[in-house]
Amino acid sequence: MADEPQQPKQPKKIVPKKYPMPEQDPMERIKNFNEVPIGQEAQTAILEAQRCLQCKRGPNRKVCTDGCPVEIDIPVFIKQVQEGNFEEAIRIIRQKQNLPAVCGRVCPYENQCEGLCVVGKKNEPVGIGRLERFLADWERREMKKGKIDVPPPTGKKVAVVGAGPAGLTVAGDLAKLGHKVTVFEALQYCGGVLVYGIPEFRLPKEIVHAEVDYIRRMGVDIKNDYVVGKLDTVDELMQNFDAVFVATGAGLPDWTNLKGENLNGILSANEFLTRVNLMKAFKFPEYDTPIRAGERVVTIGGGNVAMDCARTSLRLGCKESVILYRRSDAELPARREEVHHAQQEGVRFELLAAPVEFIGDDCGNVKQVRAIRMQLGEPDASGRRRPVKILGSEFLIDAQTVLIAIGQSPNPLVPMTTPDLKTTKEGTIAVDEEGRTSKKAVWAGGDIASGAATVILAMGDGKKAAKSMHKYLTQDQSWPAPEVFEKLSCEM
C-alpha cells in the first residue's frame, strides 16, 4: 500500500448521501420471495466508490478496515472499483473473505466498516457493504467458473464439522494455504444458517450455492447428509485428520415454556424458517414440504430472526403479521435496516408486551395469545433496561400461527459425543482467543463457541481459527495447558 502513488490532494466535494440502492416496492415485494434490494449498476458502484477518501490509518484514527472482523483491505479494493477494475477489486476481497456475496447482504456493516468510515462522520458513510455485494454479484455473473488455483498440497488433512459461515471460512482459508480440507455437513445443502435460516428475500439461496461452489472449486471436499456424532465422532475423525474444526452452530431453539406452547400452529422460528427456506415450502405444492400461516401470525421476539419470521409470514399471505417484543423500539436487537424493512412492509410492532399463555381451540390449534403490557425498569446484566410486567394489563391477540423467535442454544451433539471437550454453563464449547479447545488439535468457532451471534462474527472466528490451525499444522504443535480451559469453562 505504501508503494502506491499518493492521490493528488484535491479539494473534493463529498456527495453527502449514498447512491440509492434500488429496492422492490414494499407492497409488491410482500407478494413474492425475490430479493428486496435489486442491486446496483456498475456505473453507480464506481460513483459510490468515488465517495471514498482513501484515508490511511493513523495512530489515533481508526478506519473502515479496523471494523471488519475478517480484515478486508477496504480502501484498497475501493480504489480498484473507482478505476473500474472489478476483477482486481474482488480478488482483494477474496484474499480475506470467502463469502463476499453473503456478507455484502447480511453483514451489520453500519456497526462495522461503515461505522468507522470517515466520510460517515458528517455525511452518510461510503456504501461499503453494497460495493462488496456488487463485486461478488459481478464476479458470479461475469467470471469463468473453473478450478481455482491453490498452492501445492502440504499433505495435511483437516476436517471441518458444519458448513455454515464459520466452517466455510476455515475451509476456504486452509484450502488457500494448500491443506486438504473435508467438510462434513448434516443437511442436504451447505451454508448452515445461510440456507435454513436467512430467507430467500434477504439472501437468495442460489447465491449461497454459488459461494459454496467457489469453495468446492478450491479443492475442498464437502460431504452432505453427514451428521458428525451419529456417524463418525470427533474422536474417530481425528484418526484420519491432522486437525478438526467444530462449527456446528446454535441449532437448538429456545422456548418460552409457557402454558399451551405445544398447541398446533406454534412453531419455533427454526422450524418455520427451515420449512420455508431450506425446504422451499413457500413453493408448496411444487415442493412437498407444507407450511401454513393463517390470517394472523404473531412472532415472539425482536431480533433479526423475529424480523425474518414476520416478513416471511406476510409473503405466505397472512393478513396481519405482529411482532410481540417485551422491551421498546430502542432495545430491539434486530438491525435497524431489518426493522425498517419490516415496518415498510406493514408488520405491526406490539412493543412492551410479552406472552403469558397460548390458548387453543377444541382441536388443539392455537387461537389466541394472552399477553401482558410491560414497562422498562432498571438496567439488567445486559445493560438494557429490564422489562417489568404492568399488573392487570393483560390482553388477548387472535393468532392462527405463533412463532417463537427468542433465541437459539448451541447444538449439543458434538459436545455430547466428545467427552473431553470442555463446555461452558451455556453449553458452548470453551475456546481460547485462537479458537483452540480443551482437546488437542480440535478448534471450535461460530455460534457453537460464542452462543448465538452474527454471520460475520462466525466468519471472524473461522478466520482466527484458520490462522491458528495453519500455525499448528506447519510449525508449532504446542497446546495450552488444561487449566486454561477449566478457567474458560467456568468464566463464561
Number of residues that bind another protein (CB under 8 A): 60
Contact 71, 96 (CB under 8 A): yes
Minimum Å gap between C-beta 137 and another protein is: 8
Which residue from 57, 255, 395, 420 is in contact with another protein, where contact means CB under 8 A? 255
Residues 286-315 binding another protein (CB under 8 A) are 286-290, 292
User: What's the Cα-to-Cα distance from 319 to each of 119, 223, 296, rounded to whole Å?
Assistant: 42, 41, 6
If binding is defined by CB under 8 A, does position 83 make contact with another protein?
no
User: What's the Cα-to-Cα distance from 435 to each of 2, 23, 102, rounded to whole Å?
Assistant: 32, 39, 23
Which residue from 151, 155, 364, 379 is in contact with another protein, where contact means CB under 8 A? 364
Q: How far apart are the first and last CA of the chain?
A: 40
- What is the length of the chain? 492
If binding is defined by CB under 8 A, does position 145 make contact with another protein?
yes
**CB under 8 A: which stretch of 45-53, 212-220, 378-386, 423-431 binds another protein?**
212-220
Determine whether 26 is exposed, middle or buried from the number of CB atoms within 10 Å of its CB (0-12, 13-18, 19+): middle
Which residue from 11, 58, 146, 152 is in contact with another protein, where contact means CB under 8 A? 146
Nearer to another protein (CB atom), residue 12 or residue 147: 147
3-class SS at 337? helix
Minimum Å gap between C-beta 274 and another protein is: 5
- Bridge partners, 161 (sequence order): 184, 246
Q: What is the DSSP string of 245-309?
A: EE-----EE-----BTTTSBTEEEHHHHHIIIIIS-GGGTTTSS------SEEEEE--SHHHHHH
What would the x/- binding string for another protein be over residues 214 to 243, using CB under 8 A?
Answer: --xx-x--xxxxxx--xxx-----------
Minimum Å gap between C-beta 475 and another protein is: 29
Helices and strands in the chain, H and E counts: 18, 16
Which run of H or of E encompasses 348?
strand 348-351
**CB under 8 A: which stretch of 205-213, 323-331, 436-444, 469-477 binds another protein?**
205-213
If binding is defined by CB under 8 A, does position 56 make contact with another protein?
no
Which residue from 78, 170, 186, 457 is in contact with another protein, where contact means CB under 8 A? 186
**CB under 8 A: which stretch of 100-108, 262-270, 325-333, 385-393 binds another protein?**
262-270
Q: What distance in Å separates the CA atoms of residue 54 and residue 57, rounded to the nearest whole number?
A: 10
Q: What is the dihedral of CA 304, 307, 313, 314, to 10 degrees?
A: -140
If binding is defined by CB under 8 A, does position 264 make contact with another protein?
yes
If binding is defined by CB under 8 A, does position 395 make contact with another protein?
no
Contact 14, 123 (CB under 8 A): yes
Which residue from 15, 65, 91, 209 is in contact with another protein, where contact means CB under 8 A? 209
If binding is defined by CB under 8 A, does position 268 make contact with another protein?
yes
- Bridge partners, 58 (sequence order): 61
**CB under 8 A: which stretch of 103-111, 137-145, 324-332, 339-347 binds another protein?**
137-145
CA-nearest of 197, 205, 203 to 270 is 197
Residues that bind another protein (CB under 8 A): 141-142, 145-147, 186-190, 196, 204, 206, 209-210, 212-213, 216-217, 219, 222-227, 230-232, 251-253, 255, 257, 261-262, 264-265, 267-268, 270-271, 274-275, 278-280, 284-290, 292, 363-364, 411-413
